[in-house]
Structure formats: C-alpha cells, structure tokens
Amino acid sequence: MFRNIKAKLFSKYLFYTNTASCGILLATGDIIEQRIEMRKSHKLHDWRRTSRMFTVGFCIGPFNHLWYTNLDRWMPGTSRKIILKKLLADQILAAPIFCFIFFMGMGLLEKKRLEPIYSEWVQKFPFIYLMDCIFWPPVQVVNFSYVPTKYRVMYVNSFTLLWDTFLSFSKHTL
C-alpha cells in the first residue's frame, strides 16, 4: 500500500506533490517563526500571515518543480564540473528569482503597491542572499550528487523548513 502511494506521489502526481509541499512548508516555517515571536511579545498567532505564506509557497512550488527537473535536462550528470555548474545556476539564477517571487507574492497578498514591495526586496535581498550562499551550496552538493531527479524537490524541501523559518523572520522581523 505504501509503495503504491509513494509511486503516485513521486511519479504520477510529482508536480502536485512538489507544489503542495512547498506551500505547506512555507506555512510551517511561518508557524515556527511566529511561535518564536510570541515568546517575546505574547501576541496572538496571525493566521492570515500564515495563509499568505502558504499561498506564496504554493505559487513558488511549480517554479521549484520545473527548475529542478529541467536543471538535470540542461546539465545531465554528476561530475564535479556539472555539479559546480548546477550550483552556480542555482545561486545566480534561481535564488534571486525565488526571493523576488517570495517578496512580490507576500507584498501583493498584503495589498501593498509595487513600489514598497520592490523597496523591501532591495533592502532585504543582500542579507537574505548572503545567507542563501552560506546555507544552500552544501545542501545542493549532496542534492546534485546523490539524489535522483524525482526526489530533488522533496530533498530540498526537507531543508526548506529551516530556510522558510528564516524567510519568515526576514520578512516580518528584520
């Protein structure tokens, strides 16, 4: 039975599995961050904020899925040279796009105008990108070296919970 479910989730419904998991994990990261914030301020949990985080994660999910499945098509193999190329592509192309989509999506869901959304992204992006360059490359070396393509988004998502908690902190606290 488990094998049948696994086959459906990671083959037939892989796109949907990856998309849903991105939304769920971004929302979970926000729940963790809000719990940390509540210890300091004793404010109530903002479920609208969590739902916005879920929605943005759900929207990032398809891009995430397409990025990792196509990255292997564009650069097949696991040689050191290929892994380095994938790492550079991930850091130079995907990381800024993911960050921009995150801030744009959150800002639009918060009903902000484009100018303040862009200003917030410009202000916070350098720190987030620096942390991205520290956090993700070791994770991605393992991903690109050993993880089969169909499991890449789920592997990344297992680390994403930490990253999403950091993103929630960066968005709502910094």
pLDDT in tens, 23-65: 998 899 889 989 988 888 878 899 999 999 899 999 988 988 8
Please say if the pLDDT value at position 14 is more than 90. no
The token duo for 151 is 């499991």
pLDDT, position 107: 93
Count other Cβ atoms within 10 Å, centred on residue 43.
9
Please say if the pLDDT value at position 6 is more than 70. no
Model confidence at 124, pLDDT cuts 50, 70, 90, reads very high
Q: pLDDT for 61-71, tens place per residue?
A: 898 888 888 88
Residue 74's domain spans which residues?
Answer: 2-172
pLDDT, position 150: 75
The token duo for 21 is 């998991």
For tokens 């994990």, the residue is: 25
> What would the mean pLDDT of 130-155 be, rounded to a whole number?
88
The type of residue at 143 is N
**Cα–Cα distance for residue pair 141/156, rounded to 1 Å:** 11
**Cα–Cα distance for residue pair 30/68, rounded to 1 Å:** 24
The whole-chain average pLDDT of the chain stands at 87
Residues ≥6 apart with Cβ < 8 Å to 7? none
The token duo for 12 is 């037939």
Q: What's the number of domains the chain is made of? A: 1
